[in-house]
Chains A and B, each alone.
Chain A
Amino acid sequence: MPFPIWIPLAFGLSTPAMLWWLAAAAVPIAIHLLSRRRYRDLPWAAMEYLLAAMRRSRRRLQIEQLLLLVVRTLIVVLLVLAMAEPFLERDRLVAAAPRGARTHRVLVLDGSVSMDYRAAETSRFAEARELARQIVAASPQGDGFTLVLMSTPPRVVVGTPALQPAEFLAAIDEIVMPHAPADPAGTFARVEDLLQEARRQQPALTREVVYVLTDLGRSTWLPEEAAALRESDFSDRVARLASRSELVVVDLGEEGAENASVIDLAVTDPYVTVGASVSIEAQLKLFGRQTRRDQTVELRVDGRRVAGRQLDLPPGVAVAVTFDHRFDAPGDRIVEVRLEGDRLPLDDVRRMVVAVKPAVRVLCIDGRPSGESFAGAADYLAVALAPEDGRPGGVVEVDLVPESALAEIDLAGYDALFLAEVAQFTSGEAQRLAAFVHNGGGLVFFLGERVLAERYNRELGGERPNGVRLLPARIGGVVRRDDVQPGPAAWLDPMEYEHPVVAVFRGREEAGLLTTPVRRHLRLEVPPDSAAQVALATAAGEPLLVTESVGRGRVALVATSADPSWTAMPLWPSYVPVVQELLAYVVAGQAERQNVRVGEPLEGSLPLQGIDANVLLRPPLGATEPLRPRDEDGRAAFSYGETYFAGVYTVEAGPPLDRVDRFAAQLDPAESDLARITPEALRGEVFGGAPVTYLTHWEQPSVAEEGTRPRRGSLAKGLLYGVLALLLAETLLAWRFGHYGT
């Protein structure tokens, strides 16, 4: 189907070499000049009357001669032009190249999400692809083509200039729009590299044209939060590019496009277990000007509609919708919130993987085990973690093991690890802990009398070369607070309740968090530039609870003991809530591991047998790919970086594992905003004033016009008619003027 592009006409030649014959246009002029040198010489008597006639007619004769000369020259020019087979292009996309010059055409397709917007039947991306095809079709033979997808990361589809249009067209056909944000800076850097490479490899391509087919999305060209384009040397790069190549921007977007989107989806409960009611919250936002009434939003679990609601979407405001749901079976469940479809369908659905467990499994390691009840370092902790253990509805399962088990036990089965007064770690143990946390596991250290601070800092604090760094703070010496007088000086500082672990105590001073007696603790030194957060401190400003995200997991470090040896906290009413909040906080990393942004890598691990298993990854679009897991701390770790599409990625491990892991890649919500920048802003703010040809004209052709309107019109016939007319005119004029001679 010829694509509806309407761009001012451009002139081109099929056989430009014929233009050399234009030199023949000089022949009539030469003949005219020569004829004035070749004449008969006659004596003449009636000179006076000849002179008078000459005086009267000189001007007319000159005009006549000039007219004839022009007509004769035009005859030659038109004839030569006709032989050069000129044509008119409907668009200026393939502007006529200078004679004999071959062109390297670099096609850059905007791959941002907004390119999926469908003003009509086809998306902007499909329009861009069609436009790319037309550019190829309209280009003269001998031109080379390069195709780059402006995405994150930029994808070079065809790098070495393709000289065979058929190959290149096939590459265009195969290209699929990614769902990642576009990265103009990275893309232009790649384009510059490709051009340099092409100049070396194909010096015959003397002319360069870079086409950027984009919808001028603001989130692509002038992202607000990052300002990356403005700060980078992007405009310098564009100026460099424009100095050697022609830059053509084709605007495929239109003003006033509106879009409703599911910009966020989350389970608000810390962990999801079978049968427990959880809240699923979606954020909806309308990017537009007019409220959309009665929009249907529905919740689907594993593709099945489980709830629906109707609501109004006011423009520019995020609207939260909460669904309550009970999962009836364990496993990786696909939760999706779906809005009524609009012109940009891609962001009307947001999916996440929710790992539904029979229960949250916590491994509690006691560094000072005791045969007696509540005498070990972790006994209180185990109870606080699972106060309902053994009773129906209990969602946390705790395995209490002694320190010695740490070396052997498979940590992968656990969601969180609580270590109470473990004296020290070997480097092997440290590695295992690190792998556990990086994979999304939660890790909580309680300290105490037996703790060897130096060994902690060395093995877990990154003080050993190439060692593991898990601790959010350096552990120092013991701080005794026995002599602190009761009263405000003895109280704890909740740091404005900002940390999620203590946020639950806000406004609930009677819960006793602040008055928890801490007699002794180890000094925690938070590095000044660290990302660690202090959740709780003493009145003296000594941190008591410090957390930090490590990899996909989270680590919490509690400066005092988990039993009453150093603090009365285990006996205090605040203990259970604090421990529960700590658990919720540290296991949240697991959900993050399975739900990533488009473009972020998927990382996971399988039991070690997975090394030999047939592991396949099924992306939401495209072909299944095999994965090669690698041995990492006794686990078969895998990663996959090409998450170009939003949706569910499934990792299937064959025998002997026979297991399925799911991941969800989600759109960047900034991509849902269809706001555009003006061409002036593109030229000025983004391109720094570099010379750019900006084309916009898009028009849907009527059905009648389609097909009857050739995109390229030959002018040769018209020119030949012109030659004929001029020949007749010449004869007529020569007869009228009486100049048969010249």
Chain B
Amino acid sequence: MEDYRKYLDPQVLARLEGLPLRARRIVEGYVSGLHRSPFRGFSIEFAEHREYTPGDDLRYLDWKVFGRTDKYYLKQFEEETNLICHLVLDSSESMTYRSDRAAMSKLDYARSAAAALAYLVLRQQDSVGLAVFDDSVRALVRSSSNPSHLEQVCGAMIQAATNRKTATGTVFHELAERMKKRAIVAIFSDLFDSAEHALAGLKHFRHRRHDVVLFHVLDPAELEFPFEGTTRFRGLEGAAAMVVEPRGLRQAYLTEFGRFRRRLREGCRGRGIDYVLLRTDKPLDVALTGFLTARR
């Protein structure tokens, strides 16, 4: 059997042309080993009972069985095609950043991850939709379960322009209003916006009872600030340039950035949102595994 895992390495993926191909490589390299979909529907056909183990969702506890047997059983359902996954991709200018340590820009990495997810969902005959945004929604692809839909989704991701600022708050509110049916909303963004705005938007998704997963895409340089020597940082998204001595500033930057991430992470946890950090220098499977395993 061909070792697909190598295709999960961003270095390798970066060399692959075309998002659908990348998506297939990612999924087949890793996810195809799964016998069950990691996405479980909410109101689909009953499949079997399973004994309760602490931590299981109490919503699926079968009270009737409990009434009869005094034992806790969970109802398990077979997957259905009515699962919808909305991919929300940030294509603002800040997402184009790529440091020397990463093989792909954050945007490319996010596209790969999103495409992989889309492929995975479509392979399970579920629906995938797409929204690309920066300071407003730039592209919108309606959800569909047609396998050929992957091409359309990937095409829309690639064509999205990348020269605007991020405005997560307003965009998330707008999207939350548009998404009528309950769905899984997977957001790929660096969220270089006010954390409060972003969290407010995310809260709106939750309010609409969407299952929200935030893929926080960050470059390793943004996480570690490894620069040496006098450097002029030219701000993306129209920010001013600044000449600094990075070593002297590292601690302060890491503190500031850590505070931002902590705010986001805690905000997500408080709102029942999955927070997944995607480092662009890490193999995609590591990030996805963490997420998929958690959701199984």
Contacts and interface: CB of A to CB of B under 8 A. Distances in A.
Interface of A: 35-36, 38-54, 56-57, 61, 64-65, 737-742
B243 A56 contact: no
Contacts of B190: 45-46
A42 B231 contact: yes
Given A738-B247, A738-B250, A741-B245, A44 B235 contact: yes
Contacts of B239: 44, 47-48, 51
B209 interface: no
11 contacts: A36-B230, A45-B94, A45-B192, A45-B236, A46-B94, A49-B260, A50-B242, A53-B256, A54-B244, A61-B249, A64-B248
Nearest to B219: A45
Given A45-B222, A57-B249, A742-B230, 9 more contacts: A38-B230, A44-B239, A46-B257, A47-B236, A47-B237, A47-B240, A49-B257, A50-B244, A54-B252
B242 A51 contact: yes
Interface string B68-103: 000000000000000000000000011111000000
Given A54-B242, A741-B230, A44 B97 contact: yes
A47 B97 CA distance: 12
A326 B116 CA distance: 146
Contacts of B295: none
Given A46-B192, A48-B239, A49-B260, A41 B249 contact: no
Contacts of A61: 245, 248-249
Contacts of A48: 192, 239
Contacts of A41: 231-232, 234
B148 interface: no
Interface string B205-239: 00000000000000100100001111111111101
Contacts of B192: 45-46, 48
A46 B237 CA distance: 10
B293 interface: no
Contacts of A737: 247-248
| Chain B contact residues, majority secondary structure | mixed
A741 B247 contact: yes
Query: Looking at chain B, what size class is its interface with the partner chain?
Result: 35 or more
Contacts of A38: 230
Contacts of B237: 45, 47
Contacts of B252: 53-54, 56-57
A40 to B, nearest CB: 5
A460 B94 CA distance: 129
Contact of B255 (A47, A53, A739): A53
Contacts of B227: 40, 42
Nearest to B260: A49
B291 interface: no
Contacts of B93: 45
A47 B193 CA distance: 11
B247 to A, nearest CB: 4
A38 B236 CA distance: 21
B54 to A, nearest CB: 40
B253 interface: yes
A620 B281 CA distance: 108
Interface in B106-157: 106
Contacts of B235: 43-44, 47
B14 to A, nearest CB: 18
Contact of B247 (A35, A40, A739): A739
Given A48-B192, A50-B249, A43 B236 contact: yes
Q: Which of A42, A51, A739, A740 gathers the greatest number of chain B CB atoms within 10 Å? A: A42
Contacts of A35: 230
Contacts of A51: 239, 242
Nearest to A737: B248
B243 A36 contact: yes
Contacts of A49: 253, 256-257, 260
Contact of B249 (A45, A54, A740): A54
Q: Which 3 A-B pairs have the closest CB atoms?
A: A738-B247, A53-B252, A47-B235
A625 to B, nearest CB: 85
Given A49-B257, A49-B260, A741-B228, A43 B245 contact: no
B254 to A, nearest CB: 8
A203 to B, nearest CB: 54
Nearest to B99: A42
B236 A39 contact: no
Nearest to B223: A46
Q: Which of B94, B231, B233 gathers the greatest number of chain A CB atoms within 10 Å? A: B233
B234 A53 contact: no
Contacts of B236: 43-45, 47
Contacts of A65: 245, 248
B230 A53 contact: no
A225 B172 CA distance: 112
A52 B257 CA distance: 9
A132 to B, nearest CB: 60
Contacts of B248: 57, 61, 64-65, 737-739
B255 A42 contact: no
B5 to A, nearest CB: 30
A739 B245 CA distance: 7
A738 to B, nearest CB: 4
Nearest to A61: B248
A534 B235 CA distance: 118
Nearest to A52: B256
B97 A45 contact: yes
Nearest to A740: B247
Interface string B239-280: 110111101111111011100100000000000000000000
Contacts of A42: 227, 231-234
B252 to A, nearest CB: 4
A43 B229 contact: no
A536 B237 CA distance: 129
A40 B97 contact: no
A633 B230 CA distance: 105
A65 to B, nearest CB: 8
A689 B56 CA distance: 104
Contacts of B257: 46, 49
A52 B231 CA distance: 17
A49 B222 CA distance: 10
Q: Which of A48, A65, A742 gathers the greatest number of chain B CB atoms within 10 Å? A: A48
A40 B253 contact: no
B234 A43 contact: yes
A97 B276 CA distance: 75
B187 to A, nearest CB: 17
A491 B248 CA distance: 121
Given A42-B231, A43-B234, A44-B236, A50 B247 contact: no
